[in-house]
Amino acid sequence: MRDAYLVGAGQSAFGAFPEKSYRSLFRTAFEAAVESVPDGLEPGDVDEAFVGTLGVGGRQLGLSGPAVTEHVGLGGVPCTRVENACAASGFAVRQAVQAVKSGMADVVLAGGFEVMSDLSSDAAKYWLGVSGETEWERLSGTTFAGVYAQMASVHMEQYGTTGEQLSRVAVKNHANGAKNPHAQLGFECSLEDAQSAPVVADPLNLYHCCPTSDGAACALIVSEDVVGEYTDEPIRVAGVGAGSDSVGLFQRDSYTGVPASERAAESAYEMAEIEPEDLDFAEVHDCFAIAELLAYEDLGFCERGEAGQLIESGATEPTGKLPVNTSGGLKSKGHPIGATGAGQVVEAFKQLSGTAGPRQLENPTRGLTHNVGGSGGAAVVHVFEREGAEVDA
């Protein structure tokens, strides 16, 4: 199979933009992605598009993919909407990689968008909640925060994970997000703030939960046959992995891990022929603080049960052994559901192309993105690698 390469990626700011439409947000992201391609790319080069979105607040339930690609001048290009809740655009990127690797397309746009902030809070809760298992889990009164809180309750009971360790996730990600001009909550927070916030779903407080956001993000994936036309410093999609599981937590084998993430990571590492130790950074799905800690374990950054110690050790700070969520993560950067997965790829592109500005890591060569749908019904992992990484490393 042919190799696939990431030649550009860009995003709109994430935040609350009641004055912007989902199409205009997508246009901002598309233009930023096209502009980021080192040697330039014409919209006419795009052969195919995959677009992730949950439902734009219920307004555009059908054909919301072509609705945005047509808006940015890609009318006529085959476009498929991908829906896997919060992992929608992570899976859109995976579809793009498959299209390129299969030989069916040379230049593929993978993006995502969501508008969530112009709804009443009740309507927003409705939209968020229906990505869980509706008939049983939701109707036991849980919310997404509730389901992750249930996982946290067991992780704390089983491994002694503490509320302070959860709060450290918020402190780290806010410190990172403060350096990201696209972040929705781009301010620093103290450990005290992050421990004393109002409880949302015990043991999770407000600082353990990501915001609801508007935004869009796009990535451009091309084949090895054409990559030379777009860049001299290619970033290879070294590994792709995905998994799924019971949508309801109660039907899963584990409450203290996300099996779909484990499966996705295992496949991605195998394809990339690497171990977790070989990563220079990772963007993980921290919709809730416990989700980042679970990701450490599911992705093999530490042993099962040791994520609390890992965050405490500082290993996942920008200065640590494996910086996690340099973008600010979902917590600080924001979580416009359908745009989140592609947004993670934007950060990977920026770090690997040396364009991450004040949060630039020192010469990273390999990074991972990890995008989860719902509480773990679907997960997708990508490994991106600067070409010649082995030489550089």
Contact flag: residue 55 with another protein (CB under 8 A): no
Question: From the CB of 316, what's the least distance to another protein, in Å?
Answer: 25
Distances (CA, A) of 197 to 156, 201, 208: 19, 12, 9
Q: Which of 20, 81, 138, 331 binds another protein (CB under 8 A)?
A: 138
- CA angle in degrees (0–180, nearest 5) for 31-37-43: 50
**CB nearer another protein, residue 199 or residue 393:** 199
Under the binding rule (CB under 8 A), the answer on residue 129 touching another protein is: yes
Give me the active site residues, please. Answer: 86, 335
**Smallest separation (angstroms) from another protein to the CB of 259:** 13
The residue count for binding another protein (CB under 8 A) is 40
> CB of 94: closest distance to another protein in angstroms?
24
Which distant-in-sequence residues (6+ apart) come within 8 Å of 121 by Cβ? none
Residues between 200 and 219 with contacts to another protein, criterion CB under 8 A: 200-204
Q: Does 251 participate in binding another protein (rule CB under 8 A)?
A: yes
Q: Does 267 bind another protein (CB under 8 A)?
A: no
CA 244/CA 164 separation, integer angstroms: 31
Please choose, out of 74-82, 137-145, 313-321, 372-380, the segment that lies near another protein by the rule CB under 8 A: 137-145
Task: Give CA–CA dist 7/39, Å, rounded.
Answer: 9
* Long-range contacts of 80-84, Cβ-Cβ distance < 8 Å, separation of 24 or more: 80/49, 80/50, 80/51, 81/50, 81/51, 81/52, 81/53, 82/50, 82/51, 82/52, 83/52, 83/53, 83/54, 83/55, 84/52, 84/373, 84/377, 84/378, 84/380
Q: Tell me: does residue 162 bind another protein (CB under 8 A).
A: no
Chosen residue from 62, 76, 198, 358 binding another protein by CB under 8 A:
198
Residue 264 interacts with another protein (CB under 8 A): yes or no:
no
Q: Which of 12, 153, 327, 371 lies at the binding interface for another protein (CB under 8 A)?
A: 153
Sign of CA dihedral 383, 384, 388, 391: negative
Distance CA 185, CA 21 (A): 21
- Are 272 and 266 within 8 A, CB to CB? no
Query: In the bound complex, what is the minimum distance in angstroms from residue 375's beta carbon to another protein?
Result: 11
Backbone phi and psi for residue 102, each to the nearest 5 degrees, phi listed first:
-70, -15
The residue from 16, 130, 175, 178 that contacts another protein (CB under 8 A) is 130
- Per CB under 8 A, 319 contacts another protein: no
- Footprint of another protein (CB under 8 A): 119-120, 122-123, 125-126, 129-130, 134-143, 145-146, 149-154, 157, 198-204, 246, 248-251, 255
